[in-house]
Amino acid sequence: MIAVLGLLAGIVVGLLLKPDVPAPFVPYLPIAVVAALDAVFGALRAYFDGIFDDKVFVVSFVSNVLIAATIVFLGDKLGVGGQLTTGVIVVLGIRIFSNAAAIRRHVFHA
């Protein structure tokens, strides 16, 4: 519950302050957002499965964002940033939809 409140507080603060993202980090922002969403949906699924742990959520959240951004950074350095970005988005998207399906099954008891 604290994680959800922290997430909502972060969204509100971001909307009110409207922070600027430095230009060198702009290509990594969409990847970071998708990786963070993957961690959030994974946490929701774990909550419904009764195995949620806030420490695991924080580690998952931070590591997902860092690993995804690192993969895209390395892709940029190798000249294949677009392809690796697409790959990361596809993999994380599949995980998000898989978690969303599990959450839906819990909510609707199917």
- Tell me if 48 sits within 8 A of 101, measured CB to CB: no
Give the model's pLDDT for residue 110: 61
Query: What is the average pLDDT across 75-90?
Result: 88
Element holding 22 (H helix, E strand): none
Report d(CA 63, CA 2) in Å as an integer.
19
21 within 8 A of 54, measured Cβ to Cβ: no
Beta strands (DSSP E) in the chain are none
Q: pTM of this prediction? A: 0.80
pLDDT at 10 over 70: yes
Q: Are 61 and 44 in contact (CB under 8 A)?
A: no
List, for residues 29-71, the tens digit of each pLDDT value. 889 999 999 999 999 999 999 999 989 999 999 999 999 989 9
